[in-house]
Structure 1
C-alpha cells in the first residue's frame, strides 16, 4: 500500500496565489535602502529598554533563573511578533 503522504498535492492547494506573494519593501534613508524591519528593530529596542527598566524596578529579575537570557528572550519575542505584523 502506498504512503498517503507521498501523494502529489493538487496545484494551488495550500500555496499563495501570485497576487499575494510580494517582496518585503525597503525604505530610503539618506539615499540608502534599508529593510523595512530596521524601524521595527529600533522601536523594539526602545520598548525593550523601557520594559526592562520597569521589570527591574518591580523586581521581576529576582524571580528569574537567568536574567540576561530572560532579557534576550523577551526582546526576541517582541521583535519577532512586531516583524511578523509588519511583513503580513
Structure 2
C-alpha cells in the first residue's frame, strides 16, 4: 500500500500537475501569508486565491491546506527554506 509520503517523494505520483497560480499560492501560505495577503501580493481576488488553494489540495490529495503545503514541499514544487534563518 502506498502512503501519501511515498507519492509525495516521487514514487508513483497519482496527482495532477499543479498550475503556476496554485504553486505561488501554496508558497505564500508556506511563508505564513493569509489568503487576503496572498491575493494582494499576486494581484488576485481572495476568492481566486482560495480557489487555487482548494484545487491544489484536491490535486495533491491532501486532507487539508497544511497537508497540501507539506506535500508540495516534499515533492519540491515549493521552497521550504526559512528566509528568516541566518545563512
Q: With the length of structure 1 as denominator, give the TM-score of the two structures.
A: 0.26
Larger radius of gyration: 1
Higher strand share: 1
Q: With the length of structure 2 as denominator, give the TM-score of the two structures.
A: 0.26
Bigger relative contact order (CA 8 A; separation at least 6): 2
